[in-house]
Amino acid sequence: MPLHFPGHSKKKEESAQTALTKLNSWFPTTKNPVIISAPMYLIANGTLAAEVSKAGGIGFVAAGFDFRPGSSQLTTLSSELSLARQALGLSDRPLTPLPAIGVGFILTHTISVPHFVDTVLPILIEHSPQAVWLFANDPDFEAAHSSDEGPAAKGTAKQIIEALHAAGFVVFFQVGTVKDARKAVADGADVIVAQGIDAGGHQVAKGSGIVSLVPEMRDMIDREFAGREVVVVAAGGVADGRGVVGALGLGAEGVVLGTRFIVATEAATPEFRRKLILETNDGGLNTVKSQFHDQINSTTIWHNVYDGRAVRGASYDDHAAGLPFEENHKKFKEAASSGDNSRTVTWAGTAVGLVKDQKPAGDIVRELREQAKERIKKIQVFAA
């Protein structure tokens, strides 16, 4: 397959002599420190991603998990990438590449992943985002197919990454443990997203915060994959410039934020969720990391090595107080059908208490960068 987008080949050329970091050279429109908006399913749309890109960050569109032929998630992805193109003011004849735009996919729907190369790749090639973000493969599926070769290997992380590289995309892989990072790098990932357990949404059930995760992953990669160009970025618990500087201090080359962008003006977030995010404080107390959220949502795509962090709500409180699941689920369904949102799951990270205002995504990116620079100046005193 011919190289479709210069991102990956540019990376190999190491052409951008002036770039301060590998991310700057792979994504020439980025400014430091590089802010990345997370692909958040049903929230991170094409317009949001485009505004992040325009402000010098990297914006990810969330594509979901269903790659079967005819999937409505893939139809939506095409429309969102067209909207991103419009927001960037780029021509659609010919289709020029979308700078610093990526697409995030969830790989736990094991009946979907074998379709990825046939159904997803053509959409990516047509719309030309620069990067692809993969998250959460199913360990049983990977174990069953890791020794397969050729067409039999369809849908393993390694095979998907190889196909993406052949088409010229930079591949991000989000992981929550050093063990999973080792596999993702061995499978070929270019950027490891070190996701700590403060993160909102799905994550490994047994993990650690970015404070230990980022440096241990970096050391492992430097030791075990010497000579490979692998970037590490941090995700989980960052919502302002102080967190950005903290993550850079840990050795991350860029910083991913999800919860902060839930309330970006362009996000597809319903009003009641915006209000809840803005009103919730003290995330350690008022968000909960649990598999209960998927159970009450009747979501079955996640292997039990994963759980998710969400705002603590009435459903979880009843569960914690011992209400039998069937009764709780009945209340959940009744509330949903009567328009009562108090029992629904709102994913958010522990940094939710730092999210106090809604503003355009581009302003969030610029503010984070300025706050980070101010912070770096303030802490210079510690280097004297």
- CB atoms inside a 10 Å sphere around CB 284: 10
CB neighbour list of residue 283: distance below 8 Å, 6 or more residues apart:
198, 348, 349, 350, 351, 352, 353
In whole angstroms, the minimum distance from the beta carbon of 204 to ligand FMN comes to 11
Pairing of strands 58-64, 98-106: parallel
In whole angstroms, the minimum distance from the beta carbon of 322 to ligand FMN comes to 28
In whole angstroms, the minimum distance from the beta carbon of 227 to ligand FMN comes to 28
Place of tokens 């809604």: 358
- Residue 195 contacts ligand FMN per CB under 6 A: yes
Give 7 or 237: the residue with its C-beta nearer to ligand FMN: 237
Among 19, 21, 31, 41, contact with ligand FMN (rule: CB under 6 A)? 41
- Residue 241 contacts ligand FMN per CB under 6 A: no
H-type helices in 171-233, by residue range?
A: 178-187, 210-224
- Residue 257 contacts ligand FMN per CB under 6 A: yes
Cα separation of 273 and 268, whole Å? 10
Give 10 or 214: the residue with its C-beta nearer to ligand FMN: 214
CA 362 → CA 78, 158, 290, 314, 351, distances in Å? 23, 34, 32, 34, 20
- Residue 199 contacts ligand FMN per CB under 6 A: yes
- The reply to whether 202 belongs to the active site is yes
Instruction: Give the burial string for 63-100 (b: 16+ CB within 10 Å, else e).
Output: bbbbbeeebebbebbeebbebbbebbebeeeeeebbbb
Please give the residue whose beta carbon sits closest to ligand FMN in the complex: 258
User: Quick one: tokens of 75?
Assistant: 């139809």
Q: Which stretch binds ligand FMN (CB under 6 A): 219-227, 257-265, 356-364, 370-378?
A: 257-265
- Residue 254 contacts ligand FMN per CB under 6 A: no
Among 7, 46, 155, 237, contact with ligand FMN (rule: CB under 6 A)? 237
User: Quick one: tokens of 367?
Assistant: 């503010």
- Residue 233 contacts ligand FMN per CB under 6 A: no
Give 167 or 368: the residue with its C-beta nearer to ligand FMN: 368
Name the 3-class secondary structure at 198: coil
In whole angstroms, the minimum distance from the beta carbon of 309 to ligand FMN comes to 8
In whole angstroms, the minimum distance from the beta carbon of 223 to ligand FMN comes to 25
Decide if 202 contacts 308 (C-beta within 8 A): yes
Among 27, 135, 302, 306, contact with ligand FMN (rule: CB under 6 A)? 135
- Considering only residues 45 to 74 of the shown chain, the ones binding ligand FMN according to CB under 6 A are 62
Decide if 20 contacts 32 (C-beta within 8 A): yes
Per-residue interface string for the shown chain with ligand FMN, residues 337-376, x marking contact by CB under 6 A: ----------xxx-x-------------------------
Q: Residue 255 forms beta bridges with which residues? A: 35, 234
Residue 94, preceding peptide bond in cis (omega within 30° of 0): yes
Length of the chain: 384
CA 97 → CA 126, 266, 299, distances in Å? 9, 22, 35
Give 217 or 348: the residue with its C-beta nearer to ligand FMN: 348
CA 317 → CA 52, 71, 289, distances in Å? 36, 35, 13
Cα separation of 167 and 127, whole Å? 12
Among 35, 43, 84, 247, contact with ligand FMN (rule: CB under 6 A)? 43
Nearest to 368 by CA among 31, 45, 50, 22: 31
- Considering only residues 270 to 329 of the shown chain, the ones binding ligand FMN according to CB under 6 A are none
Please tell me the count of residues contacting ligand FMN according to CB under 6 A. Answer: 28
Catalytic residue among 4, 202, 293, 319: 202
Give 10 or 262: the residue with its C-beta nearer to ligand FMN: 262
- Considering only residues 78 to 117 of the shown chain, the ones binding ligand FMN according to CB under 6 A are 104, 106
Which stretch of DSSP H or E encloses residue 11?
helix 6-13
* Site residues for ligand FMN per CB under 6 A: 38-41, 43, 62, 104, 106, 135, 174, 195, 198-201, 235-238, 256-259, 262, 347-349, 351
Active site residues: 202
